[in-house]
Protein backbone atom coordinates (compact mmCIF):
# COMPACT_ATOMS: atom_id res chain seq x y z
CA UNK A 1 0.00 0.00 0.00
CA UNK A 2 2.71 2.40 0.99
CA UNK A 3 4.64 1.49 -2.06
CA UNK A 4 1.51 1.88 -4.12
CA UNK A 5 1.00 5.45 -2.89
CA UNK A 6 4.61 6.23 -3.55
CA UNK A 7 4.36 4.87 -7.06
CA UNK A 8 1.20 6.85 -7.74
CA UNK A 9 2.82 10.07 -6.53
CA UNK A 10 5.94 9.34 -8.50
CA UNK A 11 3.90 8.57 -11.56
CA UNK A 12 1.93 11.81 -11.17
CA UNK A 13 5.15 13.77 -10.78
CA UNK A 14 6.73 12.10 -13.77
CA UNK A 15 3.62 12.53 -15.85
CA UNK A 16 3.41 16.22 -15.04
CA UNK A 17 7.07 16.81 -15.83
CA UNK A 18 6.98 14.81 -19.02
CA UNK A 19 3.61 16.29 -19.91
CA UNK A 20 4.98 19.80 -19.47
CA UNK A 21 7.89 18.86 -21.67
CA UNK A 22 5.62 17.51 -24.34
CA UNK A 23 3.60 20.68 -24.29
CA UNK A 24 6.65 22.72 -25.22
CA UNK A 25 6.71 21.82 -28.92
CA UNK A 26 2.94 22.26 -29.08
CA UNK A 27 3.40 25.84 -27.93
CA UNK A 28 5.21 26.71 -31.16
CA UNK A 29 3.23 29.47 -32.77
CA UNK A 30 0.84 28.63 -35.62
CA UNK A 31 2.39 31.24 -37.90
CA UNK A 32 5.92 31.70 -39.21
CA UNK A 33 7.53 35.01 -40.16
CA UNK A 34 11.16 35.71 -41.00
CA UNK A 35 14.13 37.85 -40.02
CA UNK A 36 17.66 38.17 -41.32
CA UNK A 37 20.43 40.17 -39.69
CA UNK A 38 24.04 41.19 -40.13
CA UNK A 39 25.85 39.92 -37.07
CA UNK A 40 28.71 42.43 -37.44
CA UNK A 41 27.60 45.69 -35.82
CA UNK A 42 28.62 49.11 -37.09
CA UNK A 43 28.74 52.51 -35.40
CA UNK A 44 27.08 55.16 -37.59
CA UNK A 45 26.63 54.93 -41.33
CA UNK A 46 24.02 54.84 -44.03
CA UNK A 47 21.71 51.88 -44.39
CA UNK A 48 19.59 51.52 -47.50
CA UNK A 49 16.97 49.00 -48.54
CA UNK A 50 15.01 48.61 -51.75
CA UNK A 51 11.85 46.79 -50.84
CA UNK A 52 8.24 46.12 -51.66
CA UNK A 53 6.40 45.79 -48.38
CA UNK A 54 3.53 43.44 -47.66
CA UNK A 55 -0.08 44.53 -47.80
CA UNK A 56 -2.49 43.36 -45.11
CA UNK A 57 -3.86 44.34 -41.74
CA UNK A 58 -1.89 43.12 -38.75
CA UNK A 59 1.59 42.87 -40.28
CA UNK A 60 4.67 45.09 -40.57
CA UNK A 61 7.66 44.97 -42.93
CA UNK A 62 10.74 46.25 -41.14
CA UNK A 63 14.22 47.54 -41.73
CA UNK A 64 16.05 48.52 -38.57
CA UNK A 65 19.23 49.07 -36.62
CA UNK A 66 19.56 47.04 -33.46
CA UNK A 67 22.07 47.09 -30.65
CA UNK A 68 22.41 43.41 -29.92
CA UNK A 69 21.26 42.52 -26.43
CA UNK A 70 18.92 45.50 -26.11
CA UNK A 71 16.15 43.21 -24.95
CA UNK A 72 18.09 42.39 -21.79
CA UNK A 73 17.09 44.30 -18.70
CA UNK A 74 20.60 45.36 -17.79
CA UNK A 75 21.41 46.62 -21.29
CA UNK A 76 20.58 50.13 -22.51
CA UNK A 77 18.18 49.74 -25.45
CA UNK A 78 19.21 51.31 -28.79
CA UNK A 79 17.07 50.86 -31.91
CA UNK A 80 16.20 52.81 -35.07
CA UNK A 81 13.27 51.63 -37.19
CA UNK A 82 11.57 51.79 -40.54
CA UNK A 83 8.30 49.93 -40.02
CA UNK A 84 5.95 49.74 -43.00
CA UNK A 85 2.37 49.06 -42.00
CA UNK A 86 0.50 46.47 -44.04
CA UNK A 87 -2.81 47.94 -42.94
CA UNK A 88 -4.70 50.40 -45.16
CA UNK A 89 -3.11 48.89 -48.27
CA UNK A 90 0.41 49.61 -46.99
CA UNK A 91 0.07 53.36 -47.47
CA UNK A 92 1.98 54.40 -44.36
CA UNK A 93 5.12 53.65 -42.42
CA UNK A 94 6.56 54.57 -39.07
CA UNK A 95 9.94 55.97 -38.17
CA UNK A 96 11.08 55.30 -34.66
CA UNK A 97 13.95 55.62 -32.23
CA UNK A 98 13.76 53.49 -29.12
CA UNK A 99 16.21 54.07 -26.29
CA UNK A 100 16.39 53.56 -22.57
CA UNK A 101 17.15 51.33 -19.65
CA UNK A 102 14.12 49.84 -17.93
CA UNK A 103 11.56 52.34 -19.15
CA UNK A 104 12.14 53.17 -22.78
CA UNK A 105 11.58 56.29 -24.83
CA UNK A 106 9.89 56.17 -28.23
CA UNK A 107 9.59 58.74 -30.96
CA UNK A 108 7.13 57.16 -33.34
CA UNK A 109 6.21 59.28 -36.34
CA UNK A 110 3.81 57.95 -38.93
CA UNK A 111 4.38 58.94 -42.56
CA UNK A 112 1.60 58.46 -45.05
CA UNK A 113 0.44 58.61 -48.64
CA UNK A 114 2.66 55.91 -50.08
CA UNK A 115 2.02 52.75 -52.10
CA UNK A 116 4.62 50.64 -50.40
CA UNK A 117 3.21 47.26 -51.38
CA UNK A 118 2.50 48.11 -55.03
CA UNK A 119 6.08 48.74 -56.08
CA UNK A 120 9.59 48.87 -54.72
CA UNK A 121 10.73 51.88 -52.72
CA UNK A 122 14.08 52.92 -51.33
CA UNK A 123 14.23 53.50 -47.58
CA UNK A 124 17.35 55.03 -46.08
CA UNK A 125 18.50 55.49 -42.51
CA UNK A 126 21.38 57.93 -42.15
CA UNK A 127 22.92 57.66 -38.71
CA UNK A 128 25.62 60.11 -37.76
CA UNK A 129 26.81 61.33 -34.36
CA UNK A 130 23.84 62.88 -32.61
CA UNK A 131 21.54 62.66 -35.64
CA UNK A 132 19.29 60.27 -37.54
CA UNK A 133 17.64 60.95 -40.90
CA UNK A 134 15.05 58.81 -42.65
CA UNK A 135 14.61 59.10 -46.42
CA UNK A 136 12.15 57.53 -48.83
CA UNK A 137 13.17 57.46 -52.48
CA UNK A 138 15.81 60.05 -51.74
CA UNK A 139 13.49 62.49 -49.99
CA UNK A 140 14.02 63.29 -46.35
CA UNK A 141 11.02 62.13 -44.33
CA UNK A 142 12.31 62.96 -40.89
CA UNK A 143 15.37 64.29 -39.13
CA UNK A 144 16.03 63.86 -35.43
CA UNK A 145 19.02 65.76 -34.11
CA UNK A 146 20.05 65.59 -30.49
CA UNK A 147 17.76 64.13 -27.89
CA UNK A 148 17.33 60.42 -28.44
CA UNK A 149 19.70 60.49 -31.39
CA UNK A 150 22.43 61.40 -28.91
CA UNK A 151 21.71 58.21 -26.99
CA UNK A 152 22.61 56.05 -29.97
CA UNK A 153 26.26 55.47 -29.21
CA UNK A 154 26.72 51.73 -29.62
CA UNK A 155 27.46 49.80 -32.81
CA UNK A 156 24.26 48.36 -34.27
CA UNK A 157 23.29 45.46 -36.49
CA UNK A 158 21.26 45.81 -39.67
CA UNK A 159 18.13 43.70 -39.51
CA UNK A 160 15.13 43.03 -41.74
CA UNK A 161 12.04 41.28 -40.56
CA UNK A 162 8.43 40.59 -41.35
CA UNK A 163 6.06 39.73 -38.51
CA UNK A 164 2.51 40.07 -37.16
CA UNK A 165 2.48 42.04 -33.89
CA UNK A 166 -0.33 41.04 -31.55
CA UNK A 167 -1.31 44.69 -31.10
CA UNK A 168 -4.33 45.60 -33.17
CA UNK A 169 -4.32 49.22 -31.99
CA UNK A 170 -0.94 49.61 -33.61
CA UNK A 171 -0.98 47.45 -36.75
CA UNK A 172 -4.67 46.68 -37.24
CA UNK A 173 -6.73 43.52 -36.71
CA UNK A 174 -5.30 40.13 -37.55
CA UNK A 175 -7.01 37.60 -39.79
CA UNK A 176 -4.96 34.60 -40.89
CA UNK A 177 -7.03 34.24 -44.05
CA UNK A 178 -4.64 36.71 -45.66
CA UNK A 179 -1.72 34.28 -45.45
CA UNK A 180 0.66 33.72 -47.07
CA UNK A 181 2.15 37.22 -47.33
CA UNK A 182 5.54 38.36 -48.56
CA UNK A 183 8.00 41.19 -48.16
CA UNK A 184 10.32 41.50 -51.17
CA UNK A 185 13.80 43.01 -51.10
CA UNK A 186 15.79 43.79 -54.24
CA UNK A 187 18.96 44.93 -52.49
CA UNK A 188 20.52 46.35 -49.34
CA UNK A 189 23.45 48.75 -49.12
CA UNK A 190 25.59 49.55 -46.12
CA UNK A 191 27.83 52.59 -45.87
CA UNK A 192 30.33 53.43 -43.16
CA UNK A 193 30.70 56.96 -41.85
CA UNK A 194 33.89 58.84 -41.16
CA UNK A 195 35.12 62.42 -41.57
CA UNK A 196 31.66 63.56 -42.51
CA UNK A 197 31.38 61.14 -45.42
CA UNK A 198 29.51 57.96 -46.17
CA UNK A 199 31.46 55.27 -47.94
CA UNK A 200 29.89 52.19 -49.51
CA UNK A 201 31.06 49.10 -47.66
CA UNK A 202 28.91 46.58 -49.47
CA UNK A 203 25.81 46.06 -51.51
CA UNK A 204 23.87 42.83 -51.53
CA UNK A 205 21.72 42.25 -54.61
CA UNK A 206 20.47 38.91 -53.27
CA UNK A 207 21.62 37.01 -56.31
CA UNK A 208 22.20 34.32 -53.72
CA UNK A 209 21.83 34.13 -49.97
CA UNK A 210 25.17 35.14 -48.49
CA UNK A 211 25.49 33.06 -45.34
CA UNK A 212 28.75 34.80 -44.59
CA UNK A 213 26.96 38.12 -44.28
CA UNK A 214 23.49 37.31 -43.02
CA UNK A 215 22.12 35.18 -40.26
CA UNK A 216 18.54 33.88 -40.22
CA UNK A 217 16.49 34.21 -37.07
CA UNK A 218 14.97 31.12 -35.49
CA UNK A 219 13.36 32.71 -32.45
CA UNK A 220 10.34 34.74 -31.47
CA UNK A 221 9.15 37.02 -28.68
CA UNK A 222 5.97 37.56 -26.73
CA UNK A 223 4.38 40.26 -28.91
CA UNK A 224 4.96 38.30 -32.11
CA UNK A 225 2.08 36.11 -33.31
CA UNK A 226 4.64 34.16 -35.35
CA UNK A 227 7.95 32.45 -34.89
CA UNK A 228 10.81 33.53 -37.12
CA UNK A 229 11.57 30.60 -39.39
CA UNK A 230 14.79 30.32 -41.43
CA UNK A 231 12.69 28.54 -44.05
CA UNK A 232 10.74 31.73 -44.64
CA UNK A 233 13.82 33.74 -45.66
CA UNK A 234 14.38 32.78 -49.29
CA UNK A 235 16.38 34.18 -52.21
CA UNK A 236 14.92 33.79 -55.69
CA UNK A 237 15.50 35.52 -59.03
CA UNK A 238 17.69 38.17 -57.42
CA UNK A 239 15.26 39.02 -54.65
CA UNK A 240 15.08 38.24 -50.98
CA UNK A 241 11.66 37.07 -49.89
CA UNK A 242 10.60 37.20 -46.27
CA UNK A 243 7.47 35.10 -46.08
CA UNK A 244 4.69 34.89 -43.52
CA UNK A 245 2.91 31.55 -43.57
CA UNK A 246 1.05 29.08 -41.47
CA UNK A 247 3.15 26.54 -39.67
CA UNK A 248 4.05 23.70 -42.00
CA UNK A 249 3.69 25.87 -45.10
CA UNK A 250 7.02 27.66 -44.95
CA UNK A 251 8.84 28.61 -48.12
CA UNK A 252 8.05 30.41 -51.35
CA UNK A 253 7.10 28.98 -54.73
CA UNK A 254 5.99 32.16 -56.47
CA UNK A 255 7.78 34.68 -58.64
CA UNK A 256 8.96 37.86 -56.93
CA UNK A 257 7.53 41.04 -58.45
CA UNK A 258 10.00 42.85 -60.67
CA UNK A 259 11.55 46.07 -59.45
CA UNK A 260 10.85 48.49 -62.29
CA UNK A 261 12.44 51.42 -60.51
CA UNK A 262 16.01 52.60 -60.23
CA UNK A 263 18.53 49.90 -59.62
CA UNK A 264 20.71 51.96 -57.35
CA UNK A 265 20.06 53.98 -54.26
CA UNK A 266 19.78 57.72 -54.21
CA UNK A 267 23.34 57.86 -53.07
CA UNK A 268 25.73 60.05 -54.95
CA UNK A 269 28.16 57.18 -54.61
CA UNK A 270 26.27 55.49 -57.42
CA UNK A 271 25.96 58.42 -59.74
CA UNK A 272 24.95 56.45 -62.83
CA UNK A 273 21.42 56.05 -61.66
CA UNK A 274 21.18 58.26 -58.65
CA UNK A 275 19.03 60.75 -60.47
CA UNK A 276 16.57 58.04 -61.32
CA UNK A 277 16.18 57.24 -57.68
CA UNK A 278 13.91 60.17 -57.14
CA UNK A 279 11.74 59.44 -60.16
CA UNK A 280 9.60 57.14 -58.13
CA UNK A 281 7.88 59.86 -56.24
CA UNK A 282 6.04 58.86 -53.17
CA UNK A 283 4.98 60.75 -50.16
CA UNK A 284 6.86 63.50 -48.69
CA UNK A 285 6.59 62.74 -45.08
CA UNK A 286 3.38 63.78 -43.55
CA UNK A 287 4.01 63.21 -39.93
CA UNK A 288 0.71 62.12 -38.55
CA UNK A 289 0.78 63.02 -34.93
CA UNK A 290 2.28 60.14 -33.12
CA UNK A 291 0.02 60.95 -30.22
CA UNK A 292 -2.80 59.53 -32.28
CA UNK A 293 -0.94 56.29 -32.15
CA UNK A 294 -1.53 54.49 -28.95
CA UNK A 295 1.70 55.01 -27.10
CA UNK A 296 0.98 52.72 -24.26
CA UNK A 297 3.69 50.45 -23.08
CA UNK A 298 2.12 47.56 -24.92
CA UNK A 299 2.34 49.40 -28.21
CA UNK A 300 5.87 50.42 -27.66
CA UNK A 301 6.95 47.01 -26.58
CA UNK A 302 5.40 45.56 -29.69
CA UNK A 303 7.10 48.08 -31.91
CA UNK A 304 10.44 47.12 -30.57
CA UNK A 305 12.05 43.97 -31.71
CA UNK A 306 13.55 42.09 -28.83
CA UNK A 307 14.98 39.40 -30.99
CA UNK A 308 18.38 38.19 -30.10
CA UNK A 309 20.56 35.22 -30.25
CA UNK A 310 20.01 34.75 -26.55
CA UNK A 311 16.33 34.04 -26.98
CA UNK A 312 17.26 31.82 -29.86
CA UNK A 313 19.52 29.85 -27.61
CA UNK A 314 16.80 29.61 -25.02
CA UNK A 315 14.26 28.14 -27.39
CA UNK A 316 16.81 25.73 -28.75
CA UNK A 317 17.77 24.57 -25.30
CA UNK A 318 14.20 24.10 -24.16
CA UNK A 319 13.39 21.61 -26.88
CA UNK A 320 16.71 19.80 -26.55
CA UNK A 321 16.43 19.80 -22.79
CA UNK A 322 13.01 18.24 -22.97
CA UNK A 323 14.28 15.44 -25.13
CA UNK A 324 17.03 14.66 -22.66
CA UNK A 325 14.83 15.08 -19.60
CA UNK A 326 12.01 13.13 -21.13
CA UNK A 327 14.31 10.24 -21.91
CA UNK A 328 15.90 10.42 -18.47
CA UNK A 329 12.54 10.37 -16.72
CA UNK A 330 11.24 7.57 -18.87
CA UNK A 331 14.31 5.54 -18.02
CA UNK A 332 13.84 6.31 -14.31
CA UNK A 333 10.18 5.36 -14.53
CA UNK A 334 11.12 2.10 -16.14
CA UNK A 335 13.81 1.45 -13.49
CA UNK A 336 11.42 2.21 -10.63
CA UNK A 337 8.81 -0.08 -12.12
CA UNK A 338 11.37 -2.81 -12.52
CA UNK A 339 12.63 -2.40 -8.93
CA UNK A 340 9.07 -2.37 -7.59
CA UNK A 341 8.29 -5.52 -9.50
CA UNK A 342 11.41 -7.28 -8.31
CA UNK A 343 10.58 -6.47 -4.66
CA UNK A 344 7.18 -8.05 -4.83
CA UNK A 345 6.95 -10.98 -2.42
CA1 LIG B 1 18.36 42.08 -56.41
Q: What residues contact residue 287 under an 8 Å CB cut-off, 6+ apart?
A: 109, 110, 111, 142
Supply the range of the domain harboring residue 94. Answer: 31-311
pLDDT, block means (10 residues), the chain with 345 residues: 44 48 62 97 98 98 97 96 98 98 95 95 98 97 98 98 98 98 98 97 98 97 97 98 98 97 52 34 32 32 36 34 50 57 43
Distance 205 CA to ligand 1 centre (A): 4
Residue 20 lies in a domain: no
Distance 273 CA to ligand 1 centre (A): 15
Active site residues: 79, 83
Q: What pLDDT does residue 276 have?
A: 34
Residue 334 lies in a domain: no
Domain count, the chain: 1
Residue 319 lies in a domain: no
Residue 324 lies in a domain: no
Which helix (H) or strand (E) is 194 found in, with range? Answer: strand 181-194
Q: What pLDDT does residue 340 have?
A: 52
Q: What pLDDT does residue 22 have?
A: 43
Distance 211 CA to ligand 1 centre (A): 16
Residue 325 lies in a domain: no
Distance 238 CA to ligand 1 centre (A): 4
Burial of 154 (0-12, 13-18, 19+ CB in 10 A): middle
Residue 337 lies in a domain: no
CATH for 270:
2.60.120.200
Distance 121 CA to ligand 1 centre (A): 13
Distance 68 CA to ligand 1 centre (A): 27
Distance in angstroms (rounded) separating the CA atoms of residues 98 and 280: 30
Q: What pLDDT does residue 268 have?
A: 40
Q: What pLDDT does residue 335 have?
A: 58
Residue 130's closest CA among 143, 154, 146, 142?
146
Residue 216 lies in a domain: yes
Residues surrounding ion ligand 1 at CB below 5 Å: 186-187, 205-206, 238
Residues 185, 203 contacting (CB under 8 angstroms): no
Residue 317 lies in a domain: no
Distance in angstroms (rounded) separating the CA atoms of residues 213 and 106: 30
Q: What pLDDT does residue 274 have?
A: 34
Distance 204 CA to ligand 1 centre (A): 7
Return the biggest CA–CA distance within the chain.
Answer: 93
Residues 114, 136 contacting (CB under 8 angstroms): yes
Amino acid sequence: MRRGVFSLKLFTLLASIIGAGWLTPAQAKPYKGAEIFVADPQLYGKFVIRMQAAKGSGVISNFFLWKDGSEMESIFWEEVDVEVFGKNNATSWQSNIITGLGSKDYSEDVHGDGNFADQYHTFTIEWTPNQVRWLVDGKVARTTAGGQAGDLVSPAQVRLNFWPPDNTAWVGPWNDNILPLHMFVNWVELYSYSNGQFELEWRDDFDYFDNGRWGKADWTFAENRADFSPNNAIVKNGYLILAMTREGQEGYNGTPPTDNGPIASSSTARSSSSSAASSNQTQSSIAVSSSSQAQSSSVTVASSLPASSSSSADSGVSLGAFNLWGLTWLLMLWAVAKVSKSRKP
